[in-house]
Structure 1
């Protein structure tokens, strides 16, 4: 019997909501990706604790006084590798529902199965959003082939995180292991945002080398946001920092990419950014609370 997630997060008791945390291994030890991709990404990010369990992740965020959005990525078609169990991820988030918020994932290349899977994860399991990685999953989100999926997700009313920009997955491997960066150009998401105005889209990461495009899209489209994960804030493009301080102050979201980057390391660098005092709480908690329906 599936366990349905219900949030027990008390906003008054947390200081931040991390919008971007990966669960890379399930309860049976099955990894979300093949070993060579794990090893390459660990080297790229210089991460140490690469595969913490759900309960370990909850412990990290509980001790830090923060909540976290938790997900995996279903890239079974592109990688020839079965994804982690969404059911187990949701069950883990449910037993740690004071700090964890589960997002679902489906492989867009599975057609009707993706549509049915999205409905099941939302309606039965209670996921609070979805995660996609166009480069890792090997698809162009602006293609009409995937519009039926975006229509379902718009109907469900749940936000979707899409990887954008540079890619740590496959970095340094021959041919990047076949992973194509162009699928992570944020301009592809501009088409989706325009054609599905009720679909809230979160562009994950500083979108280098397309940061100006991402800034423009988030400014132009009311339904598009940016999460700041995957980079230490000390390396953020200057244009992103500048716009986060004014026109995008309510569109930008705290995110780490844990376990690749720890919350402590990210927040330490964030404290050094030249941001207004009134902007910091928006980025760290308030914007995400509204987007997730927690406020």
Structure 2
């Protein structure tokens, strides 16, 4: 393939996608937190918020193999992508990392309520698999805000291991209470752990202005655009990226919940300034997740 034939993602650039929520061919795809639901629809969903994402059940049920996922990303002009390890069934993602070490890196979801077991898990994966480059926390799973004391050992261990932490913020799509994901709780976390790098995930709405204020305040706090189609990116975040936040905001999709075709097509209408696009689609992710080493 010649350079001119190389697929591009948007605005003349190849992208780095910081959230591919891969579902694997032959796997059983069920909602991540069925025990928390009280409505009958959610308990039967393939994706825990499939009412938000048209066509997601079909994409999820089809599933991927490491080869098919690598081919899909190449076809859409995506150089690298972050996958999420399932600690109960890590083999598929670890296989991807082994077979495509320049295409994929990974984050490790952690349940902070596991105490020392969680810290041992972090240590094991970080030391054994160098392509594990982040820890993922999802407060809605535990119904505990991220300034709760149960998280603090995880933050300290992440600093020790040199790993950024992604934290879901905003009202969850799944039908569980969302106050625990108010980004204001991160204010205390960033104060207490100034060496910690945190990336806010999943939009932050209806507190997107709070996300911006916090990024202005804390040097090591970032935001990526996971779980939002580009036409729904919060205006406050785009305005911030176009001004003082060019180095703080970057791209994450949410395939297969959101199709890559839609993400790619809608990106053309996102009103970022020309100098911001390379940072948004590539450079900020390279910096935060140390991808220059891959």
Normalising by the smaller structure, the TM-score range is 0.7 to 0.9
CA contact (8 A) 1:70 1:102 kept: yes
CA contact (8 A) 1:26 1:88 kept: no
Q: Note the C-alpha offset of 1:139.
A: 2.4
**Aligned pair partner of 2:60 in 47, 50, 55:** 50
Q: Note the C-alpha offset of 1:87.
A: 4.3
Secondary structure in structure 2 of the residue aligned to 1:20 = coil
With over 3 angstroms needed to count, the CA separation of the structure-2 counterparts of 1:26 and 1:267, relative to structure 1, is closer
Partner of 2:17: 18
Deviations, residues 189-233 of structure 1 (Å, cap 9, x unaligned): 222122111111000132110001101111111111000121122
**Aligned pair partner of 1:85 in 85, 89, 95:** 89
CA contact (8 A) 1:245 1:279 kept: yes
Q: With structure 2 as the length reference, what TM-score do the two structures score? A: 0.83
2:250 pairs with 1:253: yes
With over 3 angstroms needed to count, the CA separation of the structure-2 counterparts of 1:43 and 1:64, relative to structure 1, is same
Secondary structure in structure 2 of the residue aligned to 1:240 = helix
Q: Note the C-alpha offset of 1:31.
A: 4.9
Q: Note the C-alpha offset of 1:37.
A: 4.5
Q: Note the C-alpha offset of 1:277.
A: 0.8
Secondary structure in structure 2 of the residue aligned to 1:49 = helix
With over 3 angstroms needed to count, the CA separation of the structure-2 counterparts of 1:41 and 1:107, relative to structure 1, is same
1: distance between equivalents of 2:16 and 2:158?
23
2: distance between equivalents of 1:89 and 1:26?
12
- Size of the aligned set, in residue pairs, is 265
2:205 pairs with 1:208: yes
**Aligned pair partner of 2:220 in 220, 223, 227:** 223
List runs of 5+ in structure 1 lacking aligned partners: 1-13, 74-82, 170-175
2:156 pairs with 1:157: no
1: distance between equivalents of 2:260 and 2:170?
21
CA contact (8 A) 2:29 2:60 kept: no
Partner of 2:83: 70
Deviates more, 1:215-224 or 1:191-200: 191-200
Q: Note the C-alpha offset of 1:50.
A: 1.5
2:269 pairs with 1:272: yes
CA contact (8 A) 1:23 1:54 kept: no
CA contact (8 A) 2:29 2:46 kept: no
CA contact (8 A) 1:109 1:139 kept: no
Deviates more, 1:30-39 or 1:185-194: 30-39
Q: With structure 1 as the length reference, what TM-score do the two structures score? A: 0.83
CA contact (8 A) 1:22 1:72 kept: no
Q: Note the C-alpha offset of 1:32.
A: 6.6
Partner of 1:115: 119
Partner of 1:6: none
1: distance between equivalents of 2:27 and 2:270?
41
Deviates more, 1:118-127 or 1:22-31: 22-31
RMSD across aligned positions (CA): 2.1
Secondary structure in structure 1 of the residue aligned to 2:270 = coil
2:111 pairs with 1:102: no
Secondary structure in structure 2 of the residue aligned to 1:21 = coil
